[in-house]
Chain A
Amino acid sequence: MPSKTILALALSGICVAGCATRPSDSETERTVAEMIKTSFRTRGQATVARLSQDDAQALCSKHAGELPKGVSDGIEKAQQATIRYPSSGKLMGDWREGERIAQSGVGKQFTDAPNRPAGGSCYNCHQLSKQELSFGTIGPSLYQFGKQRGASEAIQKYTYGKIYNAEAFSACSNMPRFGHNGVLTEEQITHLVALLLDPDSPVNR
């Protein structure tokens, strides 16, 4: 029940009057379920099926206030099991290709052509190369990511895995599970690994 307590605490701060009569959780849940059914419509590739949450999404929504350790461990363990490494065994692609993918924020929107490859949206949230001034800060700066860590096989594996399924390492991460959710191909992910780890990549210069 900790999530309910948190919700109640959060609400107590904003209720001016009539808090005693605030709707019950079950009434709210029913209302939300109804809204999700009636307020959205399939458009292009963005079908209403996308609103059916998987276990991780449901748990992360439910525990948005604070994630209990047990839940978090459970999510990470389950997500670890989803990571698929390329059958070629090659984890480092071409950093130039990686930079293009990192710059692009397209993909999976109902306005995107379904057959067009998605980008990685990386600069939306991370600093990467020094040259790109327009970067977001939702995620940590990745400038010099490889310079600080080297490019050992273990680091390559970690980096690939993190992009493939961020929640395997950090439950309810803000970062999309690019490989697991089929946003980026295995090959695209190897290009991003190169962008992060290749000594010649602008990230490490």
Chain B
Amino acid sequence: MDAKRREVLKTGGGVLALAAAGVIRPGDALGQEWNKAAFDTKSVAETVKALGASGSTPSSGVEITAPDIAENGAVVPIAVESKLPRTEAIAILIEKNPNTLSAEFAIPSGTDPFVSTRVKMAETSNIYALVVADGKYFHAVKEIKVTIGGCGG
């Protein structure tokens, strides 16, 4: 599984920035752009490709803060912080969700390369934080277990 993932994310080593691909436009005040192709993807590899990269490198400069186990998949708190210089964008991918891409954020200069939000997880899955920094793609991955809860279901 791990080997496969690395392969998928590393092929090519593309350097096309999200912004350059028209995925995220920091200057778009109304935020009318919505990358349907990327949000329709159903695997990490597809999403990375749809976001304009042919690959991404694992990096310790990308940090995911989230619980190892979620008591409920409807709300999973997740924060992503990038220590990489010139971080331009952060995306959150959930491998086993029906649609992989959950959210992407354009980070203009002056804004911390940090976002915290809450996402839905259909089942136990890897979460990827994909970061575009200085035009290159980096990522971190963390497994979050989603537990069955309550009674009567």
Q: Tell me the A residues contacting B by CB distance below 8 Å.
A: 103, 105-106, 109, 121, 123-124, 133-134
Cβ of B121 to closest chain A Cβ, rounded Å? 14
Cβ of B49 to closest chain A Cβ, rounded Å? 34
Question: Which residues of A have CB within 8 Å of B147?
Answer: 133-134
Q: How far is the CA of A105 from the CA of B147 in the complex (A)?
A: 14
Contact B145 A106 (CB under 8 A): no
Question: Which residues of B have CB within 8 Å of A103?
Answer: 148
Closest A residue to B147 by CB, please name it: A134
Q: How far is the CA of A133 from the CA of B150 in the complex (A)?
A: 13
B31 within 8 A of A: no
B30 within 8 A of A: no
Q: How far is the CA of A121 from the CA of B151 in the complex (A)?
A: 7
B110 within 8 A of A: no
Contact B152 A123 (CB under 8 A): no
Query: What are 18 A-B contacts with C-beta separation under 8 Å?
Result: A103-B148, A105-B150, A105-B151, A105-B152, A105-B153, A106-B152, A106-B153, A109-B152, A121-B151, A121-B152, A123-B148, A124-B151, A133-B69, A133-B145, A133-B147, A134-B147, A134-B148, A134-B149
Question: Which residues of A have CB within 8 Å of B152?
Answer: 105-106, 109, 121
Question: Which residues of B have CB within 8 Å of A133?
Answer: 69, 145, 147
Question: Which residues of B have CB within 8 Å of A123?
Answer: 148
Q: Which 4 A-B pairs have the closest CB atoms?
A: A134-B147, A124-B151, A134-B148, A105-B151
Question: Which residues of B have CB within 8 Å of A121?
Answer: 151-152
| Residue of B147, B149, B151 with most partner-chain A CB within 10 A | B151
Question: Which residues of A have CB within 8 Å of B148?
Answer: 103, 123, 134
Q: How far is the CA of A61 from the CA of B145 in the complex (A)?
A: 39
Q: How far is the CA of A103 from the CA of B69 in the complex (A)?
A: 19
Closest B residue to A123 by CB, please name it: B148
Question: Which residues of A have CB within 8 Å of B149?
Answer: 134
One digit per residue, 1 when the CB lies within 8 angstroms of any chain A CB and 0 when it does not, for chain B 110-153 equals 00000000000000000000000000000000000101111111
Q: How far is the CA of A106 from the CA of B69 in the complex (A)?
A: 24
Question: Which residues of B have CB within 8 Å of A105?
Answer: 150-153
Q: How far is the CA of A106 from the CA of B148 in the complex (A)?
A: 13
Q: How far is the CA of A124 from the CA of B150 in the complex (A)?
A: 7
Closest A residue to B152 by CB, please name it: A105
Q: How far is the CA of A170 from the CA of B145 in the complex (A)?
A: 36
